[in-house]
Structure 1
Amino acid sequence: MGIRPLAKARTSFAATFGGLPSGFWWLWTAQLINRACGFVMPLLAFYITEELDRSAAFAGTVVAGIGVGSLVAGPFGGALGDRFGHKPTLVAALGATAASMIALAYARSPWALIVGAFVVGVTNNATRPAHNALIADVIPGKDQVRAYSLNFWAINVGYSIAMLSVGLVSFTGYTALFWLNGATTLIGAVMIATRVPGRARPAEPTEAEEAAGGFGAVLRDRSFVAFVGAQFLVLTILLQSESGLPIAMSLDGFSPSTFGQVAALNGIVIVAVQLPLTRLYKRFPESWVLAGSSATVGIGYSVLLLGDSAWIYGVSIVVWTLGEIGNTPTSFALVARISPDHLRGRYQGLYQVAWTGSAVVAPLVGGWVIHTWGAGPLWIGCLVVALAAAVAQLGIGTRLTRRVATKDPEEQPEPAKSAPASDAG
């Protein structure tokens, strides 16, 4: 009786982790290490107000400098990756990130801090389109959703480790954490440079592709631009976890400690159920997964209309996290699969604008709506916008997955048996 569950567990483990090339696992390990030692970003505001004894307003300005840098980093990093190769660009950007983080530890004047933060934002976020494009370079199309899911899992495990380790500052001081963050980023760069295979340059485009290349070609892809717009809406809702949610909990009388404990459910759920859920989601067309996930995010926030107790907040987080799990890996894999090889970095770079742009817009929207009308209208708005984005993604995702099937029919995941043939990817 005990053999069957063991065999089933082995099969499940193999389906999740097996069959991927070693180059991907070196990328995955570098991601995990870098995220687990990513202390600078979350602690930067504390560092400026406590260690440097500057005002909260100035701390916000410095942190905003990272945000501004991240906005330009996606297109910039994507274009560099297509021009010089995704692996060289990633290694160089990681090295520049390590150097800029260590330099920021010694900045003292206002302008040095603001400019230093901007440079960190550019270099750190320039790694992301190159990293995501490099995953697509080393992983065949049929395994890309699984690979991006494992990458997302590593990000969340690493972030959880980093948040549990921030107490190190009381023993080491802030400067040591800047050095540790920079050193581990450099270690990741060395691992990728020496262990991950990658083309020095992407596949050479044809003359017609060269003439129509650059970001102009990406922007002319109307289905993809519409997809980025729909994702921007979903991500703006998701990022209420960092703006509207803490403001609402504060107004309801909860302490920062309670908020932290409830918010930790997001990482716990991702670590616990993301991998089995990704195997389940692969049975369905990507357009269904994206639309269902977007709707789930909106429903999760609408749960907050039922009350203001801690357990209601907890249920809300669990529900919208399930939507996040379906949305993030699927969207990155779809972007990788629809993009031509010579524009893969630019496609990832433009998609990253949805992430960085939502990080700027989400706190503005959340704070303004709560200040003007209260939390209830914000949660209603989240539901309405999420459902609208879900409807859009159902149509957009279907067009994009059909295009993928035309591009490379042998590498498509099997559609659900119940899915109509016209919707299958």
Structure 2
Amino acid sequence: MKVILAGYNIDTENDSRTPETISAAYARISRDPAPVTELRRQAALEVDKARKSNKTIVYKYGHGSIAEHAVFNFDILGLSRLAAEAVQSFRLLSFTEKSQRYIRIGEDWFLPEELQQQSPVLKDLFHSYETILSGLLEAGLSKTEAREDARYILPLAATTQMGMTVNARELEHMIRRLRAHPLAEVKRLADALYDAVLPVAPSLMLFTEPAGMDSIAHLHPAPVQGIGEVELLGCDSDERVAEWLTELYGEPSFNRIYDNLGIHDALPRFWELFRADFRITLSATAYAQLKRHRMTTQLVTAYDSSLGITVPPSIQKAGLEELFRSQCLKASSSVSSLGREADYFLTNAHRRQVRLCINGREFNHFIRLRDDAHAQWDIRGIASQMVALVKHRAPETFRMTCGKSKWEEVTGKPAL
């Protein structure tokens, strides 16, 4: 694993070399009548004083929001896909990750030192990836289509890289939380992030040691057995949004909104009054799409081989299903006694459950992206089930909710 602090914001006008001076200057705006330009100049001239001020305001007064003015960019390389999920569970950051869907994957994985004797299991999975990839290409799939489906056999130990942008407040929270994670790899990532940022912004990295609440965040219940892929546990009716429309217009007229809605428009914020609660059983591949929708509540179980696997239809059609299933079974059964670290050997086809609570505005955005013809087929199937269930309960609230490719058919409007 390698973590590089690639960049951070600085006061370019005053040639400050740390983002701490911007945090310190902006913190003084509420109590100092001087122009903010002067506050920035003073902070840049007296960095030690700025750092002392930051520590006092964050530690003594509890105003952690000033740390949000400091923003950092990280290169993260050689991290397992399993550990990447821990990073990407945080809401207030941005990341772009290497895609197994578009890039041919070589034999590159991470395993803890004590599990290295199990590496032949991973070698078999990567060998199967090459076999399946070749078989899908011979069956007539394009390179992108073949890579998209062959990746289901890849282990969660496969390494990835990402670019990450995060403010200091969320970074401090992330480091503290990741240090309480049960996987040693994730703990090392937390330490690497801390070591990279500390020389640049020591006054904003104050609360980085985990507490009891940080450990609770990593607890996972056992999955519920014997249920379908998508289960709607609770859902509002049209009434929630209709009440607000009545307050605005004197009548519950959804058309006042829909007449102005275009394919690229977000619904008004009061659509967030609507809530839906799902339990979803999905593959690691589909979860990689779902987890990007961070303006939702997502609570996950551990990956569990008892939930079965997702086999891409193209693999079935190409006559490769027996090889695919046997390799997935071999991988999961050979390490079943390892506990949480057994997840390194599970594949992108293995499943977990997600408890997903989502508001109406975000649901419309999610369906527009994931129930679209260009969306990945696995998450598209899940999104299609979700929108059908919700439209049955709240038909007016989601009358114009659909994938982009269905816009003209569903709404009768041009896709402009």
Structure in which a larger fraction of residues adopt helix: 1
Please say whether Structure 1 and Structure 2 have the same fold, judged by a TM-score greater than 0.5. no
Q: Which has the higher contact order (CA 8 A, sep 6+)?
A: 1
* TM-score, L = length of structure 1: 0.23
* TM-score, L = length of structure 2: 0.24
Q: Which has the larger radius of gyration?
A: 2
Structure in which a larger fraction of residues adopt strand: 2
